[in-house]
Amino acid sequence: AQSVTQLDSHVSVSEGTPVLLRCNYSSSYSPSLFWYVQHPNKGLQLLLKYTSAATLVKGINGFEAEFKKSETSFHLTKPSAHMSDAAEYFCVVSDRFSGGYNKLIFGAGTRLAVHP
C-alpha cells in the first residue's frame, strides 16, 4: 500500500537561507509524486510533480525536488527562502495499483516558518 512520511512536522529557517523539506514514500509501483503548498485559510496549490521523466523536477516559486528511487525519497528544496514561503507543505503520492493516479495519498505535512 502507498504511504508518505514527512520527516519533519516543523521547519524553521531564516529569510535568504536554503529550505529542505524531507519526504519518504512507499509505493508498490512506479509512483507519481507531488508537492502541494497550503497557505493559511487557502486551498492546496501544486508546486511540482514527478512522473518518471527527469528525476530532478523544477516547480513554481524556485522550488525543486529530486526523486531518488534507491532511497525512496522526494525531498523539496529551495536555495533561498522568502517570507512568503511560510506555509504548510504536503508530499503526496499516487500510483496505478493503489486507487489509480486520480487518488492522492498525503503526508501529514511540514509547517515551514521563515524568520526575518
Which stretches of the chain bind other proteins, using CB under 8 A? 4, 30, 32, 36, 41-46, 49-52, 90, 94, 96, 99-109
Q: Following DSSP, what letter does each residue of 48-89 receive, concatenated?
A: EEE-SS-SEEE-GGG-EEEEETTTTEEEEEESS--GGG-EEE
Burial (CB count within 10 angstroms: exposed 0-12, middle 13-18, buried 19+), residue 40:
exposed
Closer of 75 and 107 to other proteins (Cβ): 107
**Nearest approach, Cβ of 21 to other proteins (angstroms)?**
13
Nearer to other proteins, 20 or 46 (CB): 46
Q: How far is the CB of 75 from other proteins (least distance, A)?
A: 17
Minimum distance from residue 64 beta carbon to other proteins (Å): 16
